[in-house]
């Protein structure tokens, strides 16, 4: 059954999260500071202390195209691994865009259209968010401009084709059409780009265009809240409570969307579930970053957000999990991590693709590179259960399919993918540029 409310975890936390700050005054930002970028309905959700926010009927009508999404037990994977663990996955790849991203793209487009906005701008890493926003804008008659990280723009041509089919205009980022992009190209004409750069470009255009606003696919509170439809459905669908919930993290929306409803029940003393976030070894903001106030973008156009960060100037290596190539982590999720409410681990690129192939050959679904991180950890945990004999129940989020990522799978099968070793000096250099 599809849920009719989004869940806001903030009222249930033992301590409130630190507020975003104005970079000039270092004071908490107010609604007026965000009004040039977001509609007031979303600004209200961003700072809401209400536990539940009703989902508008117009949004529910679009959700019904693919929600509720299936919860599937991975019987064939369990058998292939010879594990006593019971593995379940919540499959979000059945959405029109092929990922979990429309769960927030649709309400963001709806609220902007309701406020009379003409154009939405955004960034996209792997292209899943760009595809989702392009689809959502088509539902509500909005124009859409997308800055796609150059590495993914080159690696995933059919993702940008899908955005154009939905009616969006797609730019490779960094691009010469914005000040932030021109500066990045002047510094490095061959830049692979980053989500931070692409955010700068999208924010710059939105802020300079009166009837335009900006939309973000992860990181902010309202985005994480919209994704809780995943966890709420999973709670209703599961025949047994999980001992362990595993999800990949880049900005954090997928993991938070699955985990937060279960974490609510754990905070209430109803369950004892353990939560584990999995990030790429090439972009390890939880495990090797610092918890500090930083810009959400490379050019420093956003408010200061307290988050786990590798530094806003950090440019990740061009791994194929483009959706996880972000220098920071969602502030709310970072706060929950600081409270000790979940674990974080890293996985390297090649072992993740191996997990994706193993999953495809047993369960039949080719996963996007992003959720292969969660699958690699799920398989590792299941094999630990094989050694110990523990009949652990594991739940993971398969947040999207990999049908547009076959070039990456081809490269892996040909032995051409490399595991990037991230030198500590690169992190330390980027951290020297944190706002003082």
Strand ranges (E), 175-322: 212-214, 244-248, 274-280, 290-295, 304-309
In a domain, 368, yes or no: yes
Tokens, residue 409: 């799978």
With vertex at residue 164, the alpha carbon angle to CA 174 and CA 133, rounded to the nearest 5 degrees, is: 75
Long-range contact set of residues 238-242: C-beta below 8 Å, sequence gap at least 24? 238/71, 238/88, 238/395, 240/86, 240/393, 241/271, 241/273, 241/393, 242/88, 242/273, 242/393, 242/394, 242/395
**What's the pLDDT at 297?**
82
d(CA 95, CA 372): 18
The kind and range of the H/E element at 145 are strand 143-149
Sheet with 212-214, edge to edge strand ranges: 169-173, 143-149, 119-124, 212-214
In a domain, 338, yes or no: yes
Q: How many domains does the chain have?
A: 1
**What's the pLDDT at 319?**
66
Q: Which domain holds residue 82?
A: 64-98+220-432
With vertex at residue 397, the alpha carbon angle to CA 272 and CA 97, rounded to the nearest 5 degrees, is: 150
In a domain, 354, yes or no: yes
In a domain, 110, yes or no: no
pLDDT tens by residue, the chain, 436 residues:
789 999 999 999 999 999 999 988 999 998 888 888 999 999 999 999 999 999 999 999 999 999 999 999 999 999 999 999 999 999 999 999 999 999 999 999 999 999 999 999 999 988 899 999 999 999 999 999 999 999 889 988 999 999 999 999 999 999 999 999 999 999 999 999 988 889 899 999 999 999 999 999 999 999 999 999 999 999 999 999 999 999 999 989 999 999 999 999 999 999 999 999 999 998 899 999 999 999 988 778 788 999 999 999 888 777 666 566 788 999 999 999 999 999 999 999 999 999 999 999 999 999 999 999 999 999 999 999 999 999 999 999 999 999 999 998 999 999 998 888 888 999 999 999 898 7
In a domain, 321, yes or no: yes
**What's the pLDDT at 167?**
98
CB 180 within 8 A of CB 186: no
d(CA 50, CA 124): 30
d(CA 313, CA 297): 8
Tokens, residue 346: 């890293």
**What's the pLDDT at 114?**
98
In a domain, 156, yes or no: no
pTM for the whole structure: 0.95
In sequence order, which residues have a C-beta less than 8 Å from that of residue 62 and are 6 or more positions away?
102, 106, 110, 136, 139
d(CA 134, CA 145): 8
Q: What is the CATH number of the domain that holds 270?
A: 3.40.50.1100
Overall size of the chain counted in residues: 436
CB 250 within 8 A of CB 219: no
In a domain, 112, yes or no: no
**What's the pLDDT at 279?**
95
The kind and range of the H/E element at 378 are helix 369-388
In a domain, 149, yes or no: no
């Amino acid at each position: 059954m599809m849920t009719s409310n989004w869940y806001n975890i903030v009222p249930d936390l033992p301590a409130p999260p630190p507020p975003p700050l104005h970079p000039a005054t270092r004071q908490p930002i107010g609604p007026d500071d965000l009004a040039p970028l977001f509609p007031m309905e979303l600004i209200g959700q961003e700072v809401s202390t209400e536990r539940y926010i009703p989902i508008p009927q117009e949004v529910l009508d679009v959700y019904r195209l693919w929600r509720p999404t299936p919860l599937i037990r991975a019987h064939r994977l369990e058998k292939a691994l010879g594990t006593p663990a019971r593995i379940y996955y919540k499959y979000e790849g059945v959405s029109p865009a092929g990922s979990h991203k429309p769960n927030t793209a649709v309400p963001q487009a709806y609220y902007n259209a309701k406020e009379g906005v003409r154009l939405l701008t955004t960034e996209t890493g792997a292209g899943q968010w760009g595809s989702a926003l392009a689809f959502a804008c088509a539902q509500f008659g909005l124009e859409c401009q997308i800055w796609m990280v150059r590495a993914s723009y080159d690696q995933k041509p059919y993702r940008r084709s899908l955005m154009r089919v939905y009616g969006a205009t797609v730019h490779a980022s960094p691009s010469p059409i914005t000040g932030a992009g021109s500066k990045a190209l002047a510094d490095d004409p061959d830049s692979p780009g980053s989500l931070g750069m692409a955010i700068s470009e999208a924010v710059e255009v939105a802020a300079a265009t009166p009837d335009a606003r900006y939309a973000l696919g992860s990181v902010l509170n309202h985005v994480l809240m919209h994704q809780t439809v995943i966890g709420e459905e999973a709670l209703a669908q599961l025949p047994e409570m999980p001992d362990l919930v595993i999800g990949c993290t880049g900005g954090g929306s997928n993991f938070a969307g699955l985990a937060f409803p279960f974490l609510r029940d754990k905070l209430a003393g109803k369950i004892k579930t353990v939560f584990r976030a999995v990030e790429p070894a090439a972009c390890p903001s939880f495990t090797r970053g610092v918890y500090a106030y930083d810009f959400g973008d490379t050019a420093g156009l956003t408010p200061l957000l307290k988050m786990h960060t590798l530094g806003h100037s950090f440019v990740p290596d061009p791994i194929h999990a483009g959706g996880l190539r972000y220098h920071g982590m969602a502030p709310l999720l970072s706060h929950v991590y600081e409270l000790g409410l979940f674990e974080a681990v890293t996985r390297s690129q090649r072992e993740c693709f191996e997990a994706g192939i193993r999953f495809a050959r047993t369960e039949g679904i080719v996963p996007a590179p992003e959720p292969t991180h969660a699958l690699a950890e799920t398989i590792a945990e299941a094999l630990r259960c094989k050694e110990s004999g523990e009949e652990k129940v594991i739940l993971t989020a398969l947040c999207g399919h990999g049908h547009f990522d076959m070039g990456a799978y081809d490269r892996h099968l040909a032995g051409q993918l490399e595991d990037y070793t991230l030198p500590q000096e690169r992190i330390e250099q980027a951290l020297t540029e944190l706002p003082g």
